[in-house]
């Protein structure tokens, strides 16, 4: 298959600075391209899809799959291979993918020969059609397993060993949860380094673009029990948005033990993630159970140089989901570990209502306190960990379950029950105490307080919330201590009547 070189190389030479030939591609060159693009008005990508591709519906598009015989680098038996997604259905704007070999750029061109069309009949395609997205395969549970996917906007996701896809990450967010329409930047172009025969990692570069911003990204991906993506990025703004969310994670929470069993769902719980975990700059570990609020709910946690945050799927018990198809107990955690000093800002949690599990309704990200500046790059770097279990998060006791319910004969109160696991079982007169805090005006009454539950091997903290007369939202926090020693992470919850 002959590569369609001329237009692509011309594009590269026009967009990279003089003196930097196409053979000298690296992150610095990609940064310069993003900076140059940000200096001119945004131009929406041309729609190159012929009518027959634009007409593909969900079923027709789903019937098209990549032909494994054409997996990129499979014939060379390299440790990683690439496969690609066909344009169509929701993915009407294509991307261009290149192979990088020793800094030299080689376009990977779309061809109908790369796909099996099932009952569809492919028509004519332009030579620069491009793909909808790409996926990376390699050794995980066994050779050829799918490790990571880049598909749609700036979305990407991955898994650790033994996991199934769940939540997603994004390049970054613009005005997520703010009044008006959210802007969705997209990765328009990718460069993937050809791996060596003994490579343990694979490197992907991506160019991001939108009306407000351009960006250069580098992902170094190392699969394993914990698949780690080392992400380096530089953003250049055409205009300053209201909220810039860095290292965003996007997930779904429909219902769980803390919200009650849905009458219309046979499954006790349905969610890709069940909580937000944070490791603050002061060393505190904070757990925030997710919910499915009736309206948009935004919570911020002020920080200075955060040590990490992530959306977690802590509950790994199959019987708590009872879903043999979705296998929610195998969904990965995603943990953001900042590299370098991120300075002051907030971890921002956005939650909104969803009526089913097909829609993500949770976004967690870092919002820097200092807004970006036009003409100056916003550079940041982090490691993104994907796994079922993450060591050291947290090192002490953790929240295993959150439940709530009515208080008998006291309709003005609400009962909360928080189970903490990972704490040494008690001795006589152990002296384990619950430390409670609630927002102004509200009160809490231990009911009965904290006690060891032998059957579940957890410490159970139970208390009644008494809101003030306005019955407005109430912030609550609690943790366990013994002789002034903190035993657990901090549980944090917003009660919203």
For residue 33, the domain's CATH number is 2.70.98.10
Together in a domain, 424 and 329: no
Of 329, 360, 387, the residue at which a domain comes to its end is: 387
Together in a domain, 202 and 58: yes
- Number of separate domains in the chain: 2
Could you tell me if residue 96 is inside a domain?
A: yes
61-98 pLDDT tens trace? 999 999 999 999 999 999 999 999 999 998 988 999 99
Together in a domain, 434 and 295: no
Together in a domain, 270 and 360: yes
Kind and range of the H or E run holding 29: helix 27-38
pTM reported for the whole predicted model: 0.92
Task: Please report where in the chains the tokens 């038996």 appear, as a residue.
Answer: 77
Could you tell me if residue 474 is inside a domain?
A: yes
Domain that residue 41 falls in: 5-387
Could you tell me if residue 326 is inside a domain?
A: yes
**Is 476 in contact with 490 (CB distance < 8 Å)?**
no
Could you tell me if residue 87 is inside a domain?
A: yes
295-317 pLDDT tens trace? 999 999 998 889 999 999 999 99
Could you tell me if residue 99 is inside a domain?
A: yes
**Is 353 in contact with 293 (CB distance < 8 Å)?**
yes
87-140 pLDDT tens trace? 999 898 899 999 999 889 999 999 999 999 998 888 888 888 999 999 999 999
Could you tell me if residue 393 is inside a domain?
A: no
- The strand ranges marked E within 211-266 are 213-222, 227-237, 244-251, 253-255
Could you tell me if residue 392 is inside a domain?
A: no
Cα-trace Rg, the chain? 25
What's 426's DSSP letter?
A: P
Q: What is the pLDDT of residue 428?
A: 61
């Amino acid at each position: 298959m002959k590569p369609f070189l001329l237009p692509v190389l011309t594009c590269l030479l026009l967009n990279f600075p003089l003196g930097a030939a196409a053979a000298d591609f690296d992150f610095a060159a990609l940064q310069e391209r993003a900076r140059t693009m940000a200096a001119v008005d945004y131009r929406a990508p041309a729609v190159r899809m012929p009518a027959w591709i634009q007409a593909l519906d969900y079923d027709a598009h789903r019937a098209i799959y990549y032909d494994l015989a054409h997996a990129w680098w499979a014939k060379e038996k390299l440790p990683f291979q690439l496969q690609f997604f066909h344009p169509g259905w929701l993915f009407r704007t294509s991307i261009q993918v290149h192979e990088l070999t020793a800094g030299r750029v080689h376009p990977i061109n779309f061809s109908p020969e790369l796909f099996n069309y099932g009952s569809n009949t492919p028509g004519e395609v332009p030579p620069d059609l491009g793909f909808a997205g790409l996926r990376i395969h390699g050794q995980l549970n066994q050779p050829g397993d799918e490790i990571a996917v880049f598909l749609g906007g700036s979305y990407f996701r991955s898994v650790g060993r033994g996991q199934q896809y769940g939540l997603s990450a994004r390049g970054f967010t613009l005005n997520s949860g703010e009044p008006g329409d959210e802007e969705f930047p997209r990765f328009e172009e990718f460069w993937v380094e050809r791996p060596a025969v003994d490579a343990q990692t694979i490197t992907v570069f991506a160019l991001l673009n939108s009306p407000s911003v351009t960006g250069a990204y580098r992902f170094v991906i190392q699969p394993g029990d914990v698949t780690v993506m080392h992400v380096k990025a530089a953003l250049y703004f055409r205009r300053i948005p209201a909220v810039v969310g860095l290292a965003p994670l996007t997930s779904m929470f429909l219902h769980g033990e803390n919200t009650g069993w849905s009458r219309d769902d046979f499954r006790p719980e349905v969610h890709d993630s069940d909580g937000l975990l944070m490791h603050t700059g002061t060393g505190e570990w904070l757990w925030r159970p997710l919910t499915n609020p009736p309206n948009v709910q935004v919570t911020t946690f002020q920080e200075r140089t955060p040590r990490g945050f992530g959306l977690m799927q802590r509950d790994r018990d199959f019987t708590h989901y009872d879903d043999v198809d979705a296998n929610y107990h195998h969904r990965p955690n995603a943990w953001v570990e900042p590299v370098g000093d991120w300075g002051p800002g907030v971890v921002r949690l956005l939650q909104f209502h969803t009526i089913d599990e097909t829609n993500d309704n949770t976004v967690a990200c870092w919002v820097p306190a200092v807004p970006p500046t036009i003409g100056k790059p916003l550079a940041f770097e982090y490691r993104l960990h994907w796994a079922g279990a993450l060591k050291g998060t947290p090192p002490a006791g953790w929240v295993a379950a959150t439940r709530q319910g009515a208080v008998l004969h006291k309709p003005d109160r609400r009962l909360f029950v928080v189970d903490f696991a990972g704490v040494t079982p008690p001795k006589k007169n152990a002296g384990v105490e619950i430390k409670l805090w609630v927002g102004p005006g509200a009160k809490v009454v231990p009911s009965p307080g904290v006690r060891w539950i032998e059957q579940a091997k957890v410490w159970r903290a139970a208390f009644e919330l008494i809101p003030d007369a306005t019955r407005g939202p109430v912030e609550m926090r609690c943790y366990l201590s013994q002789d002034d020693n903190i035993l657990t992470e901090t549980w944090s919850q917003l009660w919203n009547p």
